[in-house]
Structure 1
Amino acid sequence: MAIKPLRLNKGDTIGVIAPASPPNKDNLKRSLSFLEELGLKVKMGDHVYDQYGYLAGKDEDRLADLHKMFLDKEIKAIICAGGGYGTSRIASQIDYYLIKNNPKIFWGYSDITFLHTAIRQQTGLVTFHGPMLASDIGKEDADPLSKKYFSQLFEPFVLDYPEGVSNLETLVDGNASGILTGGNLSLLASTIGTPYEIDTKNKLLLIEDINEEPRAVDRMLNQLHMAGKLEDAAGLIIGDFNNCVPQRDLSLELDEVLDTYIKKVNKPALKGFNIGHCSPHISVPLGVRAELDATNKKLTIESGIE
């Protein structure tokens, strides 16, 4: 059964952690003023500014920040500073019982996909796939629409993907409904064969990625295909594949790769969502019911908070 976290109120305190790579410090600092504009207070994790190679501190320290924020009764939501790489390194060490007994809003995307998948499947907690502080909100050209969808944390409402934000393309006609799951394709593929392997059975599967050549996207989709994850899904939601272009003369185009697998499984599929490494980035809750009308190019998602 899904556990929806409690909504935010003005005056609440937000915890900020960096469970993957080191965040851009200037962007992170700028992003905090946005949280203050929302009427929120901020508590930084002890190791947000740590650096250990391409990681934001050692595994035990990033893990400690995650646990501490879920345990802290003052913290009402946890927002990730950025992605990069590193969350899969701590997934097997997380105390999921602690999280299940201290449910709260958890927000991020990209490398955070591994945590979304593991936390939801181990605890039932609804989490949020949305733009992060240093990676997105703190940039000088941050899109107002990306910021707008933080409002779903304060008041429950049914989220209809807004018309006109992006050009949606029907790949396979039809309607499908189910729990919304997924996120970054690279991270979803990396769950296969682990205790946190993505469960797509009768679910709507969201995929997105960045800076992957078509042959890499092909490899990852083929892995999901051979593992039965595409066939198990009720429908497919294709988010933004930012800069996923050929880097060599001999290559398929990205659209050719996507079409191969999506039409092979023949489930309702809609492409072109501004969800992922894009601007604006429309944030969505994961672990709640959603309805996909691929024929009429509509996606409706229930609220992720109580």
Structure 2
Amino acid sequence: MMKPSALKKGDIVGVVSPASPPKEQQLKKGIAYLESLGLQVQVGKSVYEKNGYLAGTDEQRAGDINAFFATPNVKGIICACGGYGTARMADLLDYELIKDNPKIFWGYSDITFLHTAISQKTGLITFHGPMLSSDIGKDDVKEQTKQSFQQLFTPQPTYYTDQITSLQIIEQGEVSGQLIGGNLTLLASSLGTEFEVDTKGKILFIEDIEEEPYSIDRMMTQLKLAGKFEDAAGIMLCDFHKCEPLKKENSLSLEEALLQPLKGLKKPIMKGFLIGHCSPQIAVPVGAYATMSTYERMVELEAGVKVD
């Protein structure tokens, strides 16, 4: 895996909307936060475009990402928000360009499809973390969420321990491997495509939002039947925000929907991580080498950036 260079004060970062259009006022607050870190901000051409539920056409959204990867003085690319649309333009990204110009790429939710695609095609470590409009620009954003950006400036390991949240052990064990994953819906939608998530020997983390247990069950079963849980070295069950039954009178619980497809796996599984659509939210480097130990109730992640 390739590590992007760490940010320094004065560096330029680009802001993109690869999926849905952001809330303008919240995005401006998010940009102001980046500026408070000493960064200069350039906004992509299509960020404020509106094409139904998309921030412009597929070509426009992909064009912004390609343009920032091609611009030498842009050192990082931060997503404004998620929503829907990244899978539509994943085949329009220039992966050779990205591989030849590695730099920070940051976002989550629908951005999971791009994390997976970039990882598969280039080997670049990317970052699953809070976004400018949907997280940082909110009035009630937690300081711990903001602090996630500090890992972009200083290469140091990230430790997720039982002291951050109470972690529940599902299956005991200790393993090491690359961290891969993100939003369950997007991981499931990658199956059968050229960007299909590869979990072999890796630690898989999953999260989601506003999906009822039957929908979680369907996608977990899909990953199970595709061999993704069997291939994985370990599994981290993260935040599943508002994923309780709402419409169905008779329903499995969220926990049943998550755990039944994992039954019988003899590998470490823990749940309870504040990664995903939650507040506060802990950012993690996707593709970085990780060690997961249920005995120590901890996941250790190597630094996702390097110093030139």
Interval of TM-score (by shorter of Structure 1 and Structure 2): over 0.9
Counterpart residue number, 2:91: 92
Deviation of the 1:164 alpha carbon: 3.0
Cα pair 2:30 2:132 within 8 Å, conserved: yes
Cα pair 1:177 1:289 within 8 Å, conserved: yes
SS at match of 1:265: coil
Rounded Cα–Cα distance in structure 2 between residues aligned with 1:20 and 1:191? 16
Rounded Cα–Cα distance in structure 2 between residues aligned with 1:258 and 1:99? 35
Rounded Cα–Cα distance in structure 2 between residues aligned with 1:129 and 1:164? 21
Is 1:270 aligned to residue 270 of structure 2? yes
Cα pair 1:171 1:263 within 8 Å, conserved: no
Task: Flag structure 1 segments of 5+ consecutive residues without an equivalent.
Answer: none
Deviation of the 1:162 alpha carbon: 4.6
Rounded Cα–Cα distance in structure 1 between residues aligned with 2:146 and 2:207? 20
Q: Deviations over 1:248-301 (max 9, x none)?
A: 210000111122122332320010000000000000001111011123311100
Amino acid at match of 2:13: I
Q: Deviations over 1:167-222 (max 9, x none)?
A: 21001111111000000000000000000000000000000000000000000010
Amino acid at match of 2:45: D
Deviation of the 1:99 alpha carbon: 0.5
Counterpart residue number, 1:41: 40
Amino acid at match of 1:53: G
Counterpart residue number, 1:252: 252
Q: TM-score, normalised by structure 2?
A: 0.97
Q: Deviations over 1:62-111 (max 9, x none)?
A: 01111111111111000000001000000112110010011100000000
Counterpart residue number, 1:172: 171
Counterpart residue number, 1:300: 300
Counterpart residue number, 1:21: 20
Amino acid at match of 2:284: V
Rounded Cα–Cα distance in structure 1 between residues aligned with 2:258 and 2:266? 12
Counterpart residue number, 2:117: 118
Cα pair 1:172 1:263 within 8 Å, conserved: no
Counterpart residue number, 1:182: 181
Cα pair 2:161 2:297 within 8 Å, conserved: no
Is 1:109 aligned to residue 94 of structure 2? no
Percent identity, aligned pairs only? 53
Structure 2 counterparts to residues 199-218 of structure 1, below 5 A? 199-218=198-217
- Computed over aligned residues only, the root mean square deviation of the Cα atoms, in angstroms, reads 0.9
SS at match of 2:179: strand
Cα pair 2:162 2:297 within 8 Å, conserved: no
Rounded Cα–Cα distance in structure 1 between residues aligned with 2:176 and 2:72? 35
SS at match of 1:195: coil
SS at match of 2:156: coil
Deviation of the 1:163 alpha carbon: 4.1
Is 1:147 aligned to residue 155 of structure 2? no
SS at match of 2:259: helix
Cα pair 2:21 2:53 within 8 Å, conserved: yes
Counterpart residue number, 2:57: 58
Rounded Cα–Cα distance in structure 1 between residues aligned with 2:148 and 2:49? 29
Task: Flag structure 2 segments of 5+ consecutive residues without an equivalent.
Answer: none
Deviation of the 1:126 alpha carbon: 0.4
Rounded Cα–Cα distance in structure 1 between residues aligned with 2:152 and 2:272? 25
Amino acid at match of 1:11: G
In structure 2, relative to structure 1, the CA distance for the partners of 1:39 and 1:162 (3 Å cut) is farther
Q: Compare 110-119 and 257-266 and name the one that shifted more.
A: 257-266
Counterpart residue number, 1:193: 192
Q: Deviations over 1:129-181 (max 9, x none)?
A: 00000010000011100111211100100110154332210011111110000
Amino acid at match of 1:219: R
Deviation of the 1:7 alpha carbon: 0.4
Q: Deviations over 1:208-256 (max 9, x none)?
A: 0000000000000100000000000000011100000011210000111
SS at match of 2:278: coil
Amino acid at match of 1:283: A
Cα pair 2:9 2:39 within 8 Å, conserved: yes
SS at match of 2:223: helix
Rounded Cα–Cα distance in structure 2 between residues aligned with 1:304 and 1:193? 29
Rounded Cα–Cα distance in structure 1 between residues aligned with 2:60 and 2:32? 26
